[in-house]
């Protein structure tokens, strides 16, 4: 339904309710350092594990969003493992726990029990999904629903259509995409936004108003930009020029994966 890199989240909607569910509450207030948390996860789809620990102020350089959008966690009992990403952490009493974060990645493992993990803060995610969770969104439409930008970035304007008594807010799911004006309104309105320059891989982010989503797609920049290479080959006694578009995505991804393995960061 909506996804974002600012706190590394994706909201899905099931077509039906699976059996045996336990419904969890959530807490959209920020969680401070040294807060006791409990993590529940199913690494690689395996049987359920539980871990106990506390939040910290650590910040891994590989995070997809700003450090302020994530909580570090160190475990005193248990660990997380490869395939645990996306699982949650909870605070509160055992009979009334509330979700406060979702796992993005980290260094915790069976052979690194002191490693720190990084959880996207639910307080950052919530403004982008509140309309879906409450089911009370009154925004009729947002236009356009998508726009493409070059690596240089740029600005844009969205038109919100809503009934006269409809109060709404707009939020961004990505750090490079900023709502510059029109972050809230009543009835029809306008949202202005900006896209920062990109020196990395192609990327996308969204602006959410109620349950209506606009997506900004941006080309890669710097060494990740698409470049033109002129090749010559001989054919039937003549040279023919061919223009080849070469996107350096695969090369970068392999380099990033090797760097992450070297640093021990697991996503």
Angstrom distances, CA of residue 26 to CA of 126, 164, 243 = 9, 31, 53
Q: How many domains does the chain have?
A: 3
Summarize pLDDT for 214-231 with one digit per residue, the tens.
999 999 988 877 765 554
Q: Quick check: helix, strand or coil at residue 33?
A: coil
pTM of the full structure:
0.74
Which of these three, 126, 155, 177, is where a domain ends?
126
Whichever domain contains 57, its CATH number is 2.40.10.10
Summarize pLDDT for 242-259 with one digit per residue, the tens.
433 333 333 333 333 333
Shared domain check, 143 and 163:
yes
List residues bridging with 38 in a β-sheet: 52, 90
User: What's the pLDDT at 116?
Assistant: 94
In percent, the amount of the chain with pLDDT more than 90 equals 62
d(CA 162, CA 267): 39
Shared domain check, 145 and 99:
no
In eight-state DSSP terms, residue 215 is: E
Examine the pLDDT at 35 and tell me if it is beyond 60: yes
User: What's the pLDDT at 106?
Assistant: 92
Summarize pLDDT for 135-155 with one digit per residue, the tens.
778 999 999 999 999 999 999
d(CA 79, CA 196): 37
Shared domain check, 144 and 45:
no
Which of these three, 126, 157, 178, is where a domain ends?
126
Examine the pLDDT at 126 and tell me if it is beyond 50: yes
The answer to whether position 132 is within a domain reads no
Shared domain check, 250 and 202:
no
d(CA 208, CA 20): 32
Shared domain check, 90 and 184:
no
d(CA 206, CA 217): 9
Shared domain check, 194 and 230:
no
List residues bridging with 88 in a β-sheet: 40, 102
Examine the pLDDT at 103 and tell me if it is beyond 90: yes
Domain that holds residue 249: 226-263
Summarize pLDDT for 163-184 with one digit per residue, the tens.
999 999 999 999 999 999 999 9
């Amino acid at each position: 339904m909506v996804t974002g890199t600012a706190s590394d989240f994706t909201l899905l909607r099931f077509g039906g309710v699976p059996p045996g569910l336990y419904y969890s509450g959530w807490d959209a207030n920020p969680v401070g350092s040294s807060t006791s948390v409990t993590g529940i996860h199913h690494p690689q789809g395996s049987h359920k594990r539980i871990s106990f620990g506390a939040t910290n102020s650590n910040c891994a350089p590989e995070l997809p969003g700003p450090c302020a959008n994530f909580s570090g966690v160190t475990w005193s009992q248990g660990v997380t493992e490869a395939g645990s990403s996306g699982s949650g952490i909870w605070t509160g009493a055992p009979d009334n726990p509330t979700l406060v974060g979702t796992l993005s990645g980290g260094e915790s493992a069976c052979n690194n029990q002191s490693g720190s993990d990084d959880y996207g803060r639910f307080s950052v995610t919530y403004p982008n999904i509140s309309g879906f969770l409450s089911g009370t969104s009154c925004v009729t439409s947002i236009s356009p629903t998508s726009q493409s930008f070059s690596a240089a970035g740029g600005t844009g304007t969205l038109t919100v259509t809503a009934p006269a008594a409809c109060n709404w807010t707009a939020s961004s799911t990505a750090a490079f995409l900023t709502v510059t004006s029109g972050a809230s309104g009543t009835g029809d309105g306008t949202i202005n936004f900006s896209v920062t320059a990109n020196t990395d891989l192609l990327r996308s982010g969204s602006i959410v108003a109620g349950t209506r989503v606009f997506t900004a797609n941006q080309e890669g920049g710097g060494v990740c930009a698409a470049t033109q290479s002129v090749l010559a080959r001989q054919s039937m006694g003549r040279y023919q020029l061919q223009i080849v578009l070469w996107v350096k995505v695969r090369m970068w991804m392999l380099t990033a994966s090797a760097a992450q393995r070297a640093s021990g960061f697991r996503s």
